Homo-oligomer: A and B are copies of this chain.
């Protein structure tokens, strides 16, 4: 995985499943992940790390308890550690996530939306 350049858009061709982040690069103990999302995710938080969302294509809403962040292509947002959030996309949206290795997509919850970690593409 290291010592290779990564074409971000090409990596999106390697999967079709929604809400299931795939690792494309690692930096120290952090991972860069791609995900395709559509519809509503669940409310969750990450008690151990901030989480960065970058919209690569489409639009994404990140609901927080007190406001909604509307992101378009080329926009990013850092969800602070411990802050509850619920991502939502009306149409399919391509995002890049940056977060600590071991971060679970459903945060402090475990259910049928929980994805396995460390799926490298």
Contacts and interface: CB of A to CB of B under 8 A. Distances in A.
Interface of A: 2-9, 24-28, 30, 32, 49-52, 54, 69-72, 74-78, 80-81, 98-100
Contact of A76 (B8, B30, B49): B8
B8 A75 contact: yes
A9 B74 contact: yes
Contacts of A4: 77
A28 B9 contact: no
Top 10 nearest A-B pairs (CB, nearest first) are: A27-B50, A5-B77, A6-B76, A7-B75, A27-B52, A28-B50, A8-B74, A5-B75, A9-B74, A25-B78
Contact of A28 (B6, B7, B8, B49): B49
